[in-house]
Structure 1
Amino acid sequence: MKASVVRQSGKSVQKGLITLVVAALLATVLLPLTQLFAKAFYDRDGQFVGLSNFLTYFSTPALSQSLTHTLYISIMTTVVAVTLAFLFAYALTRSGIRGKRAFRAVALLPLFAPTMMHGIALTYLFGNQGLVTTGMFGLLPFSWDIDLYGPVGIILAEIVYVFPQAYLILAVSMAFADYQLYEAADTLGAGHWRKFCVVTIPSVKYGIVSACFVCFTLAFTDFGAPKVVGGQYSVLATDVYKQVIGQQNMTMGATVGLLLILPALVAFIVDRIVERKQHAAVTAKSKPYRIKESRLRDTFYFFFCLAVSGFLLLLMATVVLASFIKVWPYELSFGLQHYDFSNVAGEGMGPLWNSILVALITAALGTAVTFVTAYVIEKTQVWKGLRQAGYFLSILPLALPGMVIGLAYIFFFNNPENPFHGLYGTIWILILANVIHFFAVAFITATTALKKLDPEFEMAAESMGISRAKVFWRVTVPVCTPAIVEMAVYFFINSMVTISAVVFLYAADFKLASVSIVSMDDAGDVAPAAAMSVLIVVLNIIARAGAQWIAARISKRAAWTNQEKEQVA
């Protein structure tokens, strides 16, 4: 009798939760997008003009040229970044080089930095007064002017930005190789190049496609790098910023925003298809790859990884060095004056504390909301159609550039008729934008962890009259703690470095660190901007290290628990 009552009340709770989850996703994802879409078909006076805004955009050479520029930047970035990432991932998974852990750590460093930081580093190296441009101020017998401000600078900065993402995707793809195919190729007498073309490339082709679309989307929608090193070379992301912030032309900003979302949406759909096929290609019979000895191969890949890692470290070291130099390039003595932000456009240390506060709340709130959402969609047994709708809305933010989310939130939450209008201009609109911006990846992480749990837990609990809430707190959360920690640090780090999602939403008296970097760079305070970037990187590395420490403690505790169980048995 008790089990039956628990089962009935449980289903009522499940229906209420799935309804609440879908309603919340509609209010924070779909309805703002609908407002953005509608705004593009109206003029400044609120009159419906159909496709007039799009015709104006494409008939204005100065505006339409941005689309061509953005496509060029994205294609070049994708080709170079994916090629470098493929070789780097191959070196760390298919060769016997030493120092793999160090190379892997350096490859992931750009993830901890705002994209503006890569542009600032390139400015100090290749700008008008850069170390390479001036030949170390005449100390070297050569100098090299790469004409940084424009497509060259944007492409270089974007390559650094997207390289870690491509490397992670390709490294995972290569980890699932089936060595039996290589053994069969050896038996048939295939050479190294033949095996590479016939076995290696087909086995990782889905990973390559996925990496290409991810890199293309990130480069296509990025705002930070073009803002710092773009010069007069316009791209779609900076166009949106100019239309909305510079000219207060919200309708044209919405028009460009829709253009910005189309390639991202196509990439998202293709990536979903590719991911499903990639999972289907992995079988339980696959044999792990075995690395054979080859001194020539290892020597080549070691120096390749050394060159890539050296360039990434050079960029990081340049920014750190620049943040301590008094007046570049005239007074090269060291000091801490650039870390005093009170006399520059960054407005003191306030933006950094604001960013930390927003990142902490985003990490806590975002992790809780995302995990509960994933649990409700994955574990409830009612209203399958509504759960599928919830899943679609949960992964939809993966296709939304940050600037599109920011624009959509302006139109949706700045409407006085909206019952949530009170959020606009507060810290909570920034937190909500961050949670939605990074929701999809965290949701997929939570869903993956939940799928590993045996559904027998819930079924056994129901048969014994134990509520799902108790199972959730006593079983689900403890087992999924490593994934929850990863989600929290993911929200924190990305909230610290993001600029595109919040650049339209922050209040004048509540500026964030990433926004202050843009303000300082615009005002010519490049060294303080470098200093703020360094502080963000340090904080993010500390957060990452803390997450790894917590994960290690959890693994050790789990190992001890298993040992105790075996001893008792």
Structure 2
Amino acid sequence: MHCTKEDVIRAIAIYAVVVFLFVFLVCPLCTLFVKAFQNKEGAFVGFAQFIKYFQSKSLIQSISHTFFIAIMSTIISVTLAFFFSYALSRKNVPCKRLFQYIGMIPIFAPTMLLGIALIYLFGNKGIFTALGLQVALYGKVGIIIAESIYCFPVATTILMVAFSAADNRLYEAAETMGTSTLRKMMTITIPNVKYGLISALFVAFTYSFTDFGAPSVVGGNYNVLATDVYKQVVGQQNFNMGAVVGIILLFPAVLSFVVDRITNQKQSAAINSKSVPYQIKPDKKSDALATAFCICITLVMVVFFAVALFASLIKLWPYNLTFTISNYDLTKVASGSGFTAFKNSILISLITAVLGTIVTFVGAYMIEKNQKFGASRKTAYFLSITPLAIPGTVIGLSFIMFFNASQFNIPFLEGYVLQNPFHGIYGTIWIIVLANMIHFYSVPFSTAMTSLKRLDKEFETVSESLAVPFYRTLRKVTLPLCLPAICEMWVYFFVNSLVTVSAVVFLASPTAPIASVIIVSMEGAGQTAPAVAMCMLLLFINLLVRLLYEGIKVYWNKKKRVGVSRG
């Protein structure tokens, strides 16, 4: 069989992606699973660690706490997101884009900020507490409120897409038959968005089930699995028990992933070429109620972040409300490592965004536009969507266990060891970059796949018939057409890498501190105002990056419309 230069390049590209995902996804996860079935000395003990875990009342209590928090947060966040998305999609609400953008703000902030803002509002010296509104903040109530706000934007994004897929013909037929508004909601609207609703429920459940940031701030003595695994690994250096908790955290996430994949496929199948876009009809009463609801939601968001901003600009809450910007002097916080941590976080996010975008796009291109190496393409696709099912906490755990080991014992070959060639990056920023790339890999990969699927396959066919190398077509045609999607991928990697804590809390070290982990330490040490200031800086940077991207997108769309009109 003749092998051309292009085949060699294709093979190198697809195998490089497979090797990358195998080494930095499969190998760490295998290490985590092996640790769960070993004792501290490395001897195989079967399910002894699991039995020990489930015999501990406090640890069993953590599981019940985690499920309770996740269920309550999911119900609250998805219910609010459902009506918020419905109002923006189906009612004449003014300033829709503004409401939507404000509702998305929690995505751009560390989850610790939500917990800290709650303390300023409902803590012992909080604003509403001083006004007589008593809330048992520390414990399940505080975590549920913080997680509900954290999950709200994610659920809203999913439901907005679901509502956009409505077929107006069904509503016209219902109106012709005199169907009431409530019945239309129950028989048309909810069945139409049921797959999106199920997806939102499972995604919100996974987010709240595995989050570390909010419970670490307002959890108090109310233990959940995410904080338990941190205490086991960082506090007690019990990696084996940490691996057990990591596997327990993995099960709900995997279930959520499977359901999400099934519902997404069914939702896509429900949209056809004959569908008519939904037409919003004026209704003063319902439009006014929808607007009022959107105002209430956005006011809550504004109050949360306005209070946090105010707290970062005063000397000492609530005793000295003098204006100051000293909290933003990062050189004087966290024992002088605040500025280094902040600088590292930006650097890590930039590197993650660049490398992550390149790797995911190349992987998606080789899977979608390459007709050769079928087995490798299927393997690459499976590995590419797998990170979506793995919580950040589990990725962080698996990374610390894999990279911390200088060598591995080879099973059944006593006395033989395998040296770990990647041990050298432990304790550096590169282990955090790799963890972020794996943690956030699947969503940008899906974005790239969607963008590539929209391109006409004739581009590759014509290029082949004219003997034009595929990499030239990629550079001249594919990349320019996919540029908006590539920018979206870059922004996604950057924004999430800057504020994530669940994966990197295990990987940050004194030699490579990062902002999100330093914030947890500062808040725990009582340096709340500087912690808020650092949170706000991260939020401002993410908002600035997103606004720049939105501005570029508007420019592209305007340029495209001008090109079409001239054509």
Counterpart CA distance in 1 for 2:287 and 2:465 is 58
Corresponding residue number in structure 2 for 1:278: 267
**Is the Cα–Cα contact under 8 Å of residues 314 and 320 in structure 2 kept in the other structure?**
yes
1:322 matched to 2:311? The reply is yes
**Is the Cα–Cα contact under 8 Å of residues 87 and 290 in structure 2 kept in the other structure?**
yes
Find the partner of 1:83 among 79, 82, 85.
79
Corresponding residue number in structure 1 for 2:129: 133
Residue by residue, what CA displacement relative to the aligned partner does 1:47-87 show, whole Å, maximum 9, x if unpaired? 11111111111100011110000000000001111100000
Corresponding residue number in structure 2 for 1:248: 237
1:68 matched to 2:64? The reply is yes
With the length of structure 2 as denominator, give the TM-score of the two structures. Answer: 0.96
SS at match of 1:453: coil
Residue by residue, what CA displacement relative to the aligned partner does 1:146-197 show, whole Å, maximum 9, x if unpaired? 1000000000000010000000110110011001011111222211111110
Find the partner of 1:505 among 498, 504, 507.
507
**Is the Cα–Cα contact under 8 Å of residues 427 and 511 in structure 2 kept in the other structure?**
no
Counterpart CA distance in 1 for 2:81 and 2:541 is 26
Corresponding residue number in structure 2 for 1:437: 439
The offset of 1:431, in angstroms, is 0.6
Corresponding residue number in structure 2 for 1:264: 253
The offset of 1:9, in angstroms, is 2.9
Find the partner of 1:369 among 352, 359, 362.
359
Residue by residue, what CA displacement relative to the aligned partner does 1:397-449 show, whole Å, maximum 9, x if unpaired? 00111111111111112221211222211111111111111000000000000
Q: How does 1:284-433 map to 2 (within 5 A)?
A: 284-345=273-334, 347-416=337-406, 417-433=419-435
Cα 1:307–1:563 change in 2 (3 A) is closer
Counterpart CA distance in 1 for 2:6 and 2:348 is 35
Q: In the alignment, residue 262 of structure 2 is paired with which amino acid?
A: I
Counterpart CA distance in 2 for 1:295 and 1:522 is 50
1:165 matched to 2:187? The reply is no
**Is the Cα–Cα contact under 8 Å of residues 428 and 511 in structure 2 kept in the other structure?**
no
Q: In the alignment, residue 553 of structure 2 is paired with which amino acid?
A: A
Q: In the alignment, residue 118 of structure 2 is paired with which amino acid?
A: L
Corresponding residue number in structure 2 for 1:59: 55
RMSD (Å), alpha carbons: 1.4
Q: In the alignment, residue 317 of structure 1 is paired with which amino acid?
A: A
Q: In the alignment, residue 54 of structure 1 is paired with which amino acid?
A: F
Counterpart CA distance in 1 for 2:558 and 2:234 is 51
Corresponding residue number in structure 2 for 1:156: 145
SS at match of 2:127: coil
Counterpart CA distance in 1 for 2:283 and 2:228 is 51
The offset of 1:324, in angstroms, is 0.7
The offset of 1:563, in angstroms, is 4.6
The offset of 1:559, in angstroms, is 3.7
Q: In the alignment, residue 517 of structure 1 is paired with which amino acid?
A: I
**Is the Cα–Cα contact under 8 Å of residues 485 and 551 in structure 1 kept in the other structure?**
no
Counterpart CA distance in 2 for 1:543 and 1:17 is 30
Counterpart CA distance in 2 for 1:102 and 1:554 is 21
Corresponding residue number in structure 2 for 1:145: 134
Aligned residues: 554
Counterpart CA distance in 2 for 1:85 and 1:555 is 28
SS at match of 1:381: coil
Residue by residue, what CA displacement relative to the aligned partner does 1:364-401 show, whole Å, maximum 9, x if unpaired? 11111111111111111112222111111001000111
Q: In the alignment, residue 547 of structure 1 is paired with which amino acid?
A: Y
Find the partner of 1:213 among 199, 202, 206.
202
1:517 matched to 2:513? The reply is no
The offset of 1:333, in angstroms, is 1.6
Counterpart CA distance in 1 for 2:349 and 2:9 is 31
Cα 1:456–1:85 change in 2 (3 A) is same
With the length of structure 1 as denominator, give the TM-score of the two structures. Answer: 0.95
**Is the Cα–Cα contact under 8 Å of residues 345 and 523 in structure 1 kept in the other structure?**
no
Counterpart CA distance in 1 for 2:332 and 2:384 is 43
Corresponding residue number in structure 2 for 1:106: 102
Counterpart CA distance in 1 for 2:44 and 2:551 is 56
Residue by residue, what CA displacement relative to the aligned partner does 1:100-148 show, whole Å, maximum 9, x if unpaired? 121111101111100000000000000111011111xxxxxxx111100
Counterpart CA distance in 2 for 1:559 and 1:104 is 24
The offset of 1:337, in angstroms, is 1.7
1:36 matched to 2:25? The reply is no
**Is the Cα–Cα contact under 8 Å of residues 49 and 241 in structure 2 kept in the other structure?**
yes
Counterpart CA distance in 1 for 2:395 and 2:512 is 19
Unaligned runs of 5+ in 1: 136-142
The offset of 1:560, in angstroms, is 4.1
Cα 1:560–1:301 change in 2 (3 A) is closer
Counterpart CA distance in 1 for 2:541 and 2:12 is 39
**Is the Cα–Cα contact under 8 Å of residues 351 and 512 in structure 1 kept in the other structure?**
yes
Cα 1:563–1:290 change in 2 (3 A) is closer
**Is the Cα–Cα contact under 8 Å of residues 206 and 253 in structure 2 kept in the other structure?**
yes
Counterpart CA distance in 1 for 2:314 and 2:269 is 54
Q: In the alignment, residue 338 of structure 1 is paired with which amino acid?
A: N
Percent identical? 50
**Is the Cα–Cα contact under 8 Å of residues 124 and 130 in structure 1 kept in the other structure?**
yes
Corresponding residue number in structure 2 for 1:93: 89
1:14 matched to 2:10? The reply is yes
Unaligned runs of 5+ in 2: 407-418
Counterpart CA distance in 1 for 2:485 and 2:120 is 39
The offset of 1:549, in angstroms, is 2.2
The offset of 1:342, in angstroms, is 3.5
**Is the Cα–Cα contact under 8 Å of residues 338 and 518 in structure 2 kept in the other structure?**
no
Corresponding residue number in structure 1 for 2:458: 456
**Is the Cα–Cα contact under 8 Å of residues 31 and 398 in structure 2 kept in the other structure?**
yes
1:189 matched to 2:178? The reply is yes
